[in-house]
Structures are given as C-alpha cells and as structure tokens.
Amino acid sequence: MSFSLYEAVIPTQIQMLQAAQAWIEKAKESSHSESEIVEARLTDDMLPFAFQIKSLVSHSVGAVEGVRKGVFSPDLEPAATELEKMRLNLGAAENTLRALSKGEVDSFIGNDMLFVFEQRDIRLPFKAEDFLLSFSQPNFFFHATTAYALLRAKGLGIGKADFTGKLRIQRG
C-alpha cells in the first residue's frame, strides 16, 4: 500500500470540522450567553474558545494553503466573536477541503516549505508532508480538543461521540 498524504490528513479534518460545527450549534442552544462561550478559557493564560475555533481553520485549510505557497505563518487576525460566524467559517473550511483532489495533496510530498513566525523570530524548514503531519495535524487536534473541553467545562451536553463526529464506517 502506498502512502497518501491526502488520506492521512484531509478526511479526518473534514470529519472534525463537521463535528465542531455541531458543537457550536449545541453551544448556541445552551443557556450560556454567546460572549460567555466565545471568551471561555480553561485557564487565564490560555487563549479563548474563539481562538481555538479559528485555529481549526488555520491548521486545516490554512495549512494546505501554506504548503501550496511554500510558507505558513500564524494567522494573527482577530478571531470571529459570533458563534454563527465561527460555524460558517468551519463550514467554509470543510467545503474547501472537500474540493481538494487527492492528486493535488499527494503531489505536495517532498516539497520544501517554511514555517515563519516573524514576531517570535521563528523559521522552521519542513518537507510538506512533515509540516502537515508533525506540525499542523497535532495543532489541529490540540485546538479541537481544547474547544471541546471548553464546552464540556461549561456543562454542554456533549460526549465522546460528539467529539469524533460521523465515523467513516464500512457500509455493507
């Protein structure tokens, strides 16, 4: 079996982006105010829920765009502060990933790319596949887990099945 970068990254990101949209729908229906959810943090020195959701887009669609360009830098724009806008951003990211071809993503293998964070004078050289698998994918799951944990900490009725979303099971 040959390695497919597309299969290693894209379907699971789509799955998680769908799941996160459902979490936001449940957050919108909760008794908490929108600002209470948007600003939720696990600890004072951690970035809020809004940043966690923004980072799911950044480490999925943004990461693919970075690989295309050969350079990725953190998105320093402010995060959306409305739950519906967050849900729409996740949906747009999902749709963008769905439009990718396996051939294009697999063609990134072996390409050089650079992570640049100028504000911290950080420059990290990667091969595209190593950037996606060892940098963006772990970051994607970190922010997904943190967003989910923030909602659980607020008492939202979500569980493990909500975190994983729709599994890609065999149909038979």
Residue 127: count of CB within 10 angstroms of its CB: 16
Q: Spell out the domain ranges in the chain.
A: 5-163
Distance CA(28)–CA(71), nearest Å, equals 36
Would you state the pLDDT for residue 113? 97
Q: Are strands 122-127 and 112-117 parallel, antiparallel or unpaired?
A: antiparallel
> What are the pLDDT digits (tens) for 156-167?
999 999 999 999
Q: Are strands 122-127 and 71-72 parallel, antiparallel or unpaired?
A: unpaired
- The pLDDT tens digits along the chain (172 residues) read 588 999 999 999 999 999 999 999 999 999 999 999 999 999 999 999 999 999 999 999 999 999 999 999 999 999 999 999 999 999 999 999 999 999 999 999 999 999 999 999 999 999 999 999 999 999 999 999 999 999 999 999 999 999 999 998 988 7
Question: Residue 57: which residues within 8 A CB-CB, separation 6 or more?
Answer: 75, 89, 90, 92, 93
Distance CA(114)–CA(150), nearest Å, equals 31
Look at residues 126, 143, 127, 137 and name the one whose alpha carbon lies nearest to residue 10: 137
C-alpha distance from residue 158 to each of 4, 24, 151, 155, 164 (Å): 32, 11, 8, 8, 11
Would you state the pLDDT for residue 1? 57
Would you state the pLDDT for residue 128? 98
Classify domain 5-163 by CATH architecture.
Up-down Bundle (1.20)
Torsion angle defined by CA atoms of residues 109, 104, 55 and 155, in that order, rounded to the nearest 10 degrees: -110
Would you state the pLDDT for residue 3? 82
